Structure 1
C-alpha cells in the first residue's frame, strides 16, 4: 500500500488575465479617422457645387498644373472654381471674365438680349392693340421689325392708300400718331440710344418751295417722328441722330416707286453702333458715357 505522504504535491497557479493600460494612442487614431472623413465629405461637397466645365478644369490642373496656371481660363482664374483665384466666395463672379471673353463681348451679349426682348414687346404691343381695336389690323403689315448690324430696327412703312404722312408733307396721319406714341413708351425701357431716319420713294417732288426735294422731305418727316415720339413720352436725351436719306436707300430696289419705300426707320442702337456714331461726330471714346440716360432701366 503506497504511502500517501510520499506523493508529490503539485500546486497550480492560475494567472488571471487583465486589460492593461494602453494609454491614449487610440484617441489619436480615431481623430485622424474623423479628420479624414471630414476632408472626404468636404471634397464631395466642393465637387458637387461646380459645373462640369470647372470639374474638367480641376482635372486638367492636377494633370498639368504648370500649363493651366500659365494659360488661365476655366479652372485657373474663374470665381466659381475651387482653384486659387476664385476669391472668397465660390459663387462670386463679380470682376471675373472667362478666358477668351472680354468685358466688351459680355456687354454686347447683354445688349443683343435686351434688344431681342424689346422686339418681342413691340410685336406683342401691336398684337394687343389689334385685339382691342380690329381696325388696326390693316396696319399690322406696315410695322416691320428686324435685327440689323446697328441694333433693333423698327420701320413704319407706307402702303398703297394707307400712307404714314399726308402727300408731300411731314404731317402725320392719325394712325401714325398712335403707333409712334405707343412705341415711345417701350423705347424708354432700354438704356440704348435711338437713331431716326426718313425715306421717300423716287417720285419727283412737285410743288412747294423752289429747291425743296425728297431730301428735305425725308429729313422733315424724320424730325416730325422725333417730335411725336417725345410727345409720347420718349426721353429726348435718348435720341442720338435724326437724318433723311431721300430715295437713295429703297426698301424695294426693284421698284423705286413702291409705296413701301416711303418709311420712317427707328433704330435702337447697340453700344458699338452708338460709339461709332459718336466717334464719327468727333467725340472721343473717353467722353462717351456708359449708358444713355433713360426713364427706366
Structure 2
C-alpha cells in the first residue's frame, strides 16, 4: 500500500497550435495598384488638357529624347513682372526647362518640329543604308555588283547609283535594252526598296559621246531611266512609289574631268526624304509658265 502512495502523478501537456496571423504583403500589392491607377488617371487628365501640337511634341520627345537637348519651354504667361525666372524642375545641361507653376508640356515652334522630324528621317534613312549595304554583302548577285553600286546620303535622301564599267555595261551600246544581269540586279533592288515607305526618284545619265541622227542622249537617258523603273516594279516594288523619272543626258557627269568615262553612264535612284517628295509634288501643281525654271538639272553633291 505504501508503494502505491509513493507514485508521482503524470502530467500531460497538450499544446494547441493556432493558425499564424497573416502577413502584410497584400498591403504592398494594394499600394502598388493604387499608385498605378493614380498614374494612369493622371496621364488621362494630361491628355485631355493638352493641344494637338503639344501631344505631337510629347510623342516626338519620347521617340527621340536626345533631339530635344537645348529646347526649353516658353515662359509662363501667369508669371508677374519682376518675379524673375522660375526655378527649373529639370535642368540638366540645358535639357528641358519647365516652370513649376506652368503645367504646359514642351512647346516647339514649327521650325523646331520640322528639324526634329528631319533628324529622325535622316536616322531612318541611315539605318536603311546600313541594312542595304549588309544585304549587298550577303546576296551573291548584289555582291558581284558591289563596285558598281554607289550608296550615299544626300540632301534629297538616300541615293543609290548604278554605274557602268568598261567591260560590264548596264545597257547595250547606244540603246535602252538592259543586259540580263542588270535586270536581275534591278529586281533585287526593287524588293529591298519596297521595304521602306518613301517614294523614289529615277534619273538616267549618259556619257558625252554624241549619237547619230535625231536620237540624242536626252532621249537615251530618259528611256534608260524608264527601263530601270519597269524592272524595279517587276521585281516587287510598288508602282505608286515612283515619284519622278527624268533623263539628264551628259549634263551632270560623275567624272567631270573625263566626260567620256564609262562611270558617267549610270542610273541614279534616290529614296526621297519628305522635303524632296513634297517639292516634287508642289512642282507638278504649278502652271506651265513656271515649269521651265524647274527643269534645269540640279547638281547633287
TM-score range, shorter chain: 0.5 to 0.7
- Which residue number corresponds to residue 174 of structure 1? 180
| C-alpha spacing 1:283/1:236, structure 2 compared with 1 (3 Å) | farther
- Which residue number corresponds to residue 194 of structure 1? 200
Task: Please list, as runs of the form range in 1=range in 2, the aligned pairs for 1:8-19 lying within 5 A after superposition.
Answer: none
| C-alpha spacing 1:280/1:143, structure 2 compared with 1 (3 Å) | same
Q: Using structure 2 for the length normalisation, give the TM-score.
A: 0.61
Q: Distance in 2 between matches of 1:100 and 1:264?
A: 36
**Which structure 2 residue ranges, 5 or more long, are not aligned?**
1-64, 77-81, 88-94, 288-301
Structural RMSD (CA): 3.3
Secondary structure at 2:122's aligned position in 1? Answer: helix
**Which structure 1 residue ranges, 5 or more long, are not aligned?**
1-50, 87-95, 285-297
Secondary structure at 1:198's aligned position in 2? Answer: strand
Secondary structure at 2:170's aligned position in 1? Answer: coil
- Which residue number corresponds to residue 263 of structure 2? 260
Q: Distance in 2 between matches of 1:108 and 1:274?
A: 13
- Which residue number corresponds to residue 85 of structure 1? 104
Q: Distance in 2 between matches of 1:75 and 1:203?
A: 62
Q: Where in structure 1 do 4 or more consecutive aligned residues deviate above 2 Å?
A: 64-69, 73-77, 96-103, 136-139
Secondary structure at 1:234's aligned position in 2? Answer: coil
Of 157, 170, 173 in structure 2, the residue corresponding to residue 164 of structure 1 is 170
Aligned length, in residue pairs: 208
Of 223, 228, 238 in structure 2, the residue corresponding to residue 235 of structure 1 is 238
Secondary structure at 2:139's aligned position in 1? Answer: helix
Corresponding position: 1:150 with 2:150: no
Secondary structure at 2:280's aligned position in 1? Answer: helix
Q: Distance in 2 between matches of 1:120 and 1:152?
A: 11
Q: Distance in 2 between matches of 1:219 and 1:229?
A: 15
- Which residue number corresponds to residue 136 of structure 2? 126
Q: Report the alpha carbon displacement of residue 106 of structure 1 after superposing the two structures with TM.
A: 2.1
Task: Please list, as runs of the form range in 1=range in 2, the aligned pairs for 1:266-285 lying within 5 A after superposition.
Answer: 266-282=269-285
- Which residue number corresponds to residue 23 of structure 2? none
Q: Report the alpha carbon displacement of residue 99 of structure 1 after superposing the two structures with TM.
A: 7.1
Q: Using structure 1 for the length normalisation, give the TM-score.
A: 0.62
- Which residue number corresponds to residue 9 of structure 1? none
Larger radius of gyration: 1
Q: Distance in 2 between matches of 1:139 and 1:163?
A: 11
Q: Report the alpha carbon displacement of residue 137 of structure 1 after superposing the two structures with TM.
A: 4.7
Q: Distance in 2 between matches of 1:99 and 1:82?
A: 21
